[in-house]
Amino acid sequence: MNESSSHTDLVQANPWDELRAHTSARIALGRVGASLPTAEVLRFGLAHAQARDAVHRPLDFEALDSELHEAGFHTLRVKSDATDRPVYLLRPDLGRRLDDGCRLRLLQEPSAPALAVVIADGLSSSAVQRHALPLLEAFRTRFDADWAKVPVVLAEQGRVALGDGIGEALRARLVVLLIGERPGLSSPDSLGLYLTCQPRVGRMDSERNCISNVRPEGLPYDQAATKLAYLAREALRLNLSGVALKDDSGLQVIGEAGGSRPRVEGTVPDAQ
């Protein structure tokens, strides 16, 4: 046996390596004695820093507003009762309440839209900065509306329930809220989508639908937009949302005759 083959025999293949190639989850980290390998300790430190940055870094609303205008969306700007980021993090209740001045401005908007879209920074500005526009563009191609008149409301220091007050002030039949989800150590930029029919202050979480982990490494834009469009159409047709509205969006998409929009058929588990 030569020296090279002897050295090869001493190196044992890690059976987890193949599985790790298919997920960003922190699995099969290995060990050195009773500790983690140095490389994994450094990766953990980086992931923790990215998660903290996602929470504390302010969303660039000016840049996002400009990008949405260039893409042809009609935008409005509001804020919650949380005056700054520290207050937002310490007082979740204030992030759920619409500022009085902003509510009055929304009440003066001329029409009562069937659909209103809210984009809130939430707990990950990274998620909103990276994914809100491409998700919204994919949704626009799948949901019939007069998009020049659909209000897209940019909400600063907002939590999920803030969409209820915004939708109520706009007198919208349906509100779709895009928000940065609480970051994890392998997913600092996940976007969450929340859909509420007949929005009003005081709606419970059980009265809205959620699609989570929207990002290229999680639920891709096209799939998320297809689910969202299906739920939005059904919510408007049935005049309900939440636990009473099931996601039957997607085992098979069958093209309608004559080149019209595809029809979504089948049954899949709820997107919760």
Q: Residue 208 forms beta bridges with which residues?
A: 196
Maximum separation of any 2 CA atoms in the chain, in Å: 86
The answer to whether 187 and 218 are in contact (CB under 8 A) is: yes
Residues 6+ apart with CB under 8 A from 87: 94, 157
Q: Which of 52, 228, 45 is nearest to 131 (CA)?
A: 228
Q: Is 197 annotated as a binding residue?
A: no
181 belongs to an annotated ligand binding site:
yes
User: Pairing relation of β-strands 174-180 and 115-120?
Assistant: parallel
CA distance 117 to 177: 6
DSSP state of 80: B
264 is in an annotated binding site: no
Picking from 141, 147, 149, 209, the residue whose alpha carbon sits closest to that of residue 175 is: 209
State how far the Cα of 64 lies from the Cα of 121, in Å rounded to an integer.
11
Binding annotation for adenosylcob(III)alamin: 160, 181, 210
Residue list for the binding site: 160, 181, 210
